[in-house]
Structure 1
Amino acid sequence: MGGSTMTILVLSLDTAPLLAAVRAVLDTDDLPAAALIGGLAVTVRVAAPATTYRATADIDIVTTDADPTLVELLTNRYHTTEPIQVAGIKVDVIPTPPVTTDDLDGIDDGPRLFVASHRWALDTAEPLTLATPDTDAFTVDVATPAALLATKCHAVGYARTQRRATKHGADMLDVYRLVETYNPDGELATQVHDAPGHLAPVIAHVIRTEILANPAKAAMAMASTSPVPVDTEDLAATLESFIEDLDTGPA
């Protein structure tokens, strides 16, 4: 009898501690719905099955606001307090309640982008099987590229001062690489138009003001975290095309 073949995405050896932490989180009893977002999720989406993308030192999990919460479950199991440490890795847990269009009406762009994008990331996450060359494979729900882009655009456009000072280049790089990888045919823009909360104009505004307003400056900031050079002309052309797709809307 024939059977389906599981596709394993093999990441670089330096992600092994991060994957161990993700695996430990998933091993929590009564685990509520949860999905991987953040830098490691972007690495999975743009680098696998290649071996390198950019360094990241923590993991980000979006989850429901169930009772007990994932934060409570993790702090009890690992005898830790926030910031949560699991297997030696900082774990940022973002609980998100269900949201409707009515819930988002009248909310400013920044909070609306945060709330809608993170719930979208949870609701549309896909199971992917991950490993490194030296670790066993396991399966975790990972946010889709479109939802990741939306969450990353919030980080780029509405980050707190500390994050902007330390992670702005990496967050902009994540936005660029997601668009570069997933929007050659306009598909990523089409998916963003389907996001809850009418997020396409907000995302377009963030990219225009934070990256396209000064592509050379943005490329320099990205270069500090990228393992490969960031070409200013390619950056501008790629994101301008994406913005045009967002402005035009689905065909």
Structure 2
Amino acid sequence: MAAVVQGVIEVRALIGQAPVIVGGLAVLSRLSNPYRATVDLDLVDRLLGHLPQLEVLRAADGAEPVEPAAVLLPTRYGSVKVDVLEVRQVELDQPSDDPGDRLHASAHAWANDTATDMTIEVIRTSGERVAVTTPVAEPGPLIAMKLQAVMNRSTDKQGTDLLDIVHLVLDDTTRAAALAQIRSVEAATVQDIAIHVDLWFTRKRLQSLQRVRAVGGRDITTDDLDLVAELLTDAAQR
């Protein structure tokens, strides 16, 4: 984890601004009880700068490109894989006919535009502290991104995404904010959220439960998934 947090510091120095953190590190930072570790760093780039952030990072000394849209970035604590999730304005102005593609663009733009500063700190076994303050995606956008990501992931990654959603919805620290944010997001985005909630927490509920339990969520039950579905579906009502 020290390499991941140090990676944020390195990225900030390279791109000249604080990066917007999404993915596993954002989830763990938001939860009251971070239930897993992460070894990767996920960023969102609205492509509003002079150069794409991925291009800048890949040009850094010692950096190694990782396809399709990542870079292995050296840090003082070891290399960290940085995935850059790009959102083009045309994807928002001319939405796809596919709800998954639409939610990918809208959820990542939502995450970028509403991220708030958090201080992320890791204490190494030596007692050394590694800390950084940077914008981190809010719980509602994180749920939307995770819902969309499940479809194209490996079995293990599907389980992690689904378990992240369960924790974000049921955690006392994130639940109220997540549901309020989903209630207030624009109608097109919330409709796509509802489609994905129905897919993964209703129609494919048993498959989702298997995926969740396979990655460590052995205490999660069908009742938990039903509650997540109920809360998210209610928040998505217009």
Q: TM-score, normalised by structure 2?
A: 0.82
Q: Could you tell me which amino acid in structure 2 is paired with residue 124 of structure 1?
A: T
* TM-fit CA distance, 1:230: 1.3
Partner of 1:85: 72
CA contact (8 A) 2:5 2:130 kept: no
Residues 64, 73 of structure 2: 8 Å contact kept: no
The answer as to whether partners of 2:104 and 2:148 remain within 8 angstroms in 1 is yes
Q: Give the root-mean-square deviation of aligned CA atoms.
A: 2.5
CA distance in 2, matches of 1:70, 1:120: 18
Question: Structure 2 CA distance, aligned partners of 1:176 and 1:197?
Answer: 23
Work out whether 1:64 is the aligned partner of 2:55.
no
Identical aligned residues as a percent: 27
Q: 1:110 to 1:184 in 2, by over 3 A?
A: closer
1:142 alignment partner in structure 2: 136
Partner of 2:235: 245
Q: Kindly tell me: are residues 183 and 243 of structure 1, through their superposed partners in 2, closer, same or farther at Cα, counting changes over 3 Å?
A: farther
Amino acid at match of 1:154: Q
Cα deviation 1:139-188 (Å, max 9, x = unaligned): 011011111111111102x32xxx23341100111111111126755x53
**1:78 counterpart letter in structure 2:** D
1:104 deviates by 4.1
Distance 1:39 1:78 in 2: 26
The alignment of Structure 1 onto Structure 2 pairs a total of residues equal to 224
Q: 2:178 aligns with which of 162, 173, 188?
A: 188
Q: CA deviation at 1:214?
A: 4.2
Q: Distance in 2 between matches of 1:133 and 1:227?
A: 26
Is 2:115 the counterpart of 1:132?
no
Counterpart residue number, 1:8: none
- For 2:27 and 2:80, locate their aligned partners in 1 and report how far apart those are by CA, in whole Å: 18
Distance 1:196 1:238, change over 3 A: closer
1:80 Cα shift? 2.8
2:25 is the alignment partner of 1:34: no
User: 1:42 Cα shift?
Assistant: 0.7
Which segments of 5 or more consecutive residues in structure 1 lack a partner in the other structure? 1-14
Distance 1:217 1:173, change over 3 A: same
Query: Cα distance, 1:211 vs. partner?
Result: 2.4
So what's the TM-score if we normalise by structure 1? 0.79
Please tell me whether the aligned partners of residues 54 and 227 of structure 1 are also in contact (alpha carbons under 8 angstroms). no
1:163-174 map, 5 Å: 163-174=153-164
Equivalent in the alignment of 2:5 = 19
